[in-house]
A and B are shown apart, each in its own frame.
Chain A
């Protein structure tokens, strides 16, 4: 049992949410504290809690206002619960899930691979090797349903987004946006540098488990010549 790290601050986000802040930066250690707190809160899940939304360094808790009597200040009650149940307790460090995702790099599936290689001063093969040898953490899902923001990109591969986003990026496209990498679940507009593509289905709203990846998961990319 490891102590769960208390948030450095608890703020309100509008009328019906608390924002628990665990740091200011994008780093694996801070993000791990977010996921530890999210796991503990999800296990306790009080009936008034509607949504638990992790981000890089913060965690939002959305409250069902009508679950409290009209005379009760719902956010005050929720904050009291957080301080009692989450901050003073110990929580088990959950073992993260580990997933592998097959990717075809370059060619029509990765139109920006050459540009990323040129920007990094590497060969295309080196970019693929570095991208596929890292151990990534799903910091959060956002932007679109099932879109993972992955921490752990080799810093030499970091590259600013396109000046003008593409109007259409294929589903499964693996991209680099600044110091992060991610995967587009659906076709649509996008400004990340696309270096490859997977045919893994990232999001299926009708499934019992709609999202292939969950916040806190560990991910590796496996280069393949063709998608099975």
Chain B
């Protein structure tokens, strides 16, 4: 089946679990910024957790379905409608042929994911269907969606009437929408002056934040040792400190190497929280050990596994 893009939204891209094995060529990870919401959306429609889905940013697209489809929207709260009827997030929804799905503004978060049964048939490049915006490949033509694009979906689904499941997935505690988001940091290579400066106060998310990184505003930080640094490998999660003193938390589209001091590293379990930060949101860092990071990662994986089982039971039973 196909989906026609009537309006693209602010930055809507096809993303899967990301790209591995090509970092030595300067190719970044890409993939869903919020892997947790991306996975739940896919599981709700019966896909593998890392199947290609649409990632929407702040404002969503308007999509017309040429045949029936089962979809789910997870992540930020969004104002979503099928034709004129508002529909809820975090649950499966069956759409009849001809439906127009309109996704408006994100509230309480910055990114939402639209998964569809069968998954989007995207350009698989270097082992992943994710859109690499800097390299201009993968996903849909290597770029964000534009009006008039036609997206292919694997398989057809017959749906007679709009159907909204009467059950849903409770996304807490991973989406607590606290007034000040808490992100746990592993120690970085470079110490700051003062030594606990990054943990001392609140940070505000700058409007220049994007898929490459969350840019922060607040107290100006400096590194303790102003030795010259040479470019080294960096990773999603790395917290860089450029000379202007405003930290950047790298996200999935970060380049593979960087020369700025590295003052910390956001743990994977908190990447969904980072992905959901909106310009102006407040953020506080707390220190974390590798063992605590592993524990948080395992607990999150267990929550996702329980959600997968619950969805499986619902889909096979009711």
Q: What's the minimum C-beta distance from A52 to chain B, rounded to whole angstroms?
A: 6
The answer on a CB contact under 8 Å between B297 and A15 is yes
Option from B22, B231, B238, B294 in Cβ contact (under 8 Å) with A210: B22
What does the 1/0 interface line of A42-72 toward B look like (CB < 8 Å)? Answer: 0000000011111111111010110000100
A residues near B294, Cβ cutoff 8 Å: 15, 73
Instruction: Tell me if A210 and B126 are in contact (CB < 8 A).
Output: yes
With A14-B265, A205-B126 already in contact, the answer to whether A145 and B134 are too (CB < 8 A) is yes
Whole-angstrom distance between the Cβ of A181 and the nearest chain B Cβ: 15
Candidates B137, B186, B235; contact of A206 at CB < 8 Å: B137
Residues of B within 8 A of A174 (CB): none
Chain A count of residues within 8 A CB distance of the other chain: 47
Contact B231 A145 (CB under 8 A): no
Among residues of A, the one whose C-beta sits closest to the C-beta of B256 is A142
Q: Is B186 a contact partner of A186 (Cβ separation < 8 A)?
A: no
Q: Return B97 CB to nearest CB of chain A, in Å.
A: 34
Q: Does A211 contact B (CB under 8 A)?
A: yes
Residues of B within 8 A of A144 (CB): 26, 134-135, 255
Closest B residue to A20 by beta carbon equals B233
Q: Check A11 against B256 for contact (C-beta < 8 Å).
A: no
30 contacts between A and B (CB under 8 A): A12-B186, A13-B234, A13-B265, A14-B186, A15-B267, A15-B294, A19-B233, A24-B230, A50-B21, A51-B22, A51-B23, A53-B233, A55-B232, A56-B230, A56-B231, A60-B23, A141-B24, A142-B256, A143-B26, A144-B255, A145-B134, A147-B26, A149-B231, A203-B135, A205-B27, A205-B132, A210-B25, A210-B27, A214-B24, A215-B24
Could you tell me which B residues sit within 8 Å of A by CB distance? Answer: 20-27, 125-126, 132, 134-138, 142, 186, 189, 230-238, 255-257, 265, 267-268, 290, 293-294, 297-298
